[in-house]
Amino acid sequence: MIIHTDKPITHPFDELDLKYESIGTQMEKPMHQSVKYYLCPDSACHEFKIGKFIADIYQDGHIIEIQTGSFQSMDHKLSSLLPQYKITIVYPVVRRKSIYEMDTLYGTKKPKKSPKIGNILHIMTELVKIKKHLLHPNLDFLIFYVDADEYRIKIEDRTSRKTHERLAQYPKGIPSLYTLKDKFDYLDLLPDDLELEVTAKTLQKALKLNKSETQSLIQIYKTLGLLYFIRKEGRAFVYQLVKKENN
């Protein structure tokens, strides 16, 4: 389910320091910190100690964890805390971004808009890492879909094809929030005109995913009981999607 909001995201910094020497060196990255303050402005609820764990946000028995990295690191925490607490994992996805290239000599160059648009379905590659917890009644997810300014520095590494390193992302504008509280919310992530009979190939094309992301999506939707194998056509597996409920 998508939550419509008119509240823009702001940076919880007294003064935004974008100097080359300081950007990207914060213990807590700007994306993580901005999302945390957006969801809960009360800093008394931040970095809350629960047993041997630290929750990003804790309010009235509800833990909110913001994951900008791999969900694999959440596995032990979920195993320990899910029996006693409601947990929401927030997954930021950059929708559109402006790229700023930083230079040690000449400062920051004019931004360039990236032609790429972030895909909310990228969360599937992370969900497979905690698939065993997916059906737990105390666990849900929030996709935080937001534009961002991205700061990069050019690097010279002859051993790698990498030419730039990302230093930090600063979210901006009004986010779109997608809640995944029950299995039918996952169907709302799919296009309305998607055929109910699908293969990995047709899903990959329709959803604009790569092969690995498509296989992750198939695993998750099968786990949730939203996708069923029905037959083979040549070498392709054909699946049946559960039909969306009418609102």
9 falls within a domain: yes
Task: Tell me how far apart the alpha carbons of residues 241 and 222 are, in angstroms, rounded to a whole number.
Answer: 9
> Phi/psi at 120 (nearest 5 deg)?
-60, -20
134 and 106 housed in the same domain? yes
Structural domains counted in the chain: 2
Q: What percent of the chain has pLDDT over 70?
A: 86
30 falls within a domain: yes
What confidence tens digit (pLDDT) does each residue in 1-57 have?
A: 777 788 888 876 543 454 444 444 344 588 999 999 999 999 999 999 999 999 999
Look over the chain and give the mean of its residue pLDDT values, rounded to a whole number.
87
Compute the average pLDDT of residues 72-96.
Answer: 96
Compute the average pLDDT of residues 155-160.
Answer: 65
Structure tokens at 189: 């992530």
37 and 146 housed in the same domain? yes
Q: How does residue 111 score in pLDDT terms, banded at 50, 70 and 90?
A: confident
70 and 31 housed in the same domain? yes
174 and 227 housed in the same domain? no
Which of these three, 136, 155, 181, is where a domain ends?
A: 181
162 and 219 housed in the same domain? no
187 falls within a domain: no
240 and 169 housed in the same domain? no
- pLDDT at residue 135 is higher than 70: yes
188 falls within a domain: no
Q: How does residue 161 score in pLDDT terms, banded at 50, 70 and 90?
A: low
82 and 13 housed in the same domain? yes
184 Cβ neighbours under 8 A, 6+ residues apart: 244, 245
Q: In angstroms, what CA-CA distances link 115 with 94, 230, 234?
A: 12, 38, 37
89 and 198 housed in the same domain? no
Which of these three, 161, 181, 201, is where a domain ends?
A: 181
By the 10 Å C-beta count (0-12 exposed, 13-18 middle, 19+ buried), 234 is classed as exposed
Residue 228's domain comprises 193-247
* In contact, 126 and 134? CB cutoff 8 Å: no
Side-chain-side CA neighbours of 193 within 13 Å: the count stands at 1
95 and 141 housed in the same domain? yes
22 and 86 housed in the same domain? yes
What confidence tens digit (pLDDT) does each residue in 188-236 have?
A: 999 999 999 999 999 999 999 999 999 999 999 999 999 999 999 999 9
124 and 226 housed in the same domain? no
140 and 204 housed in the same domain? no
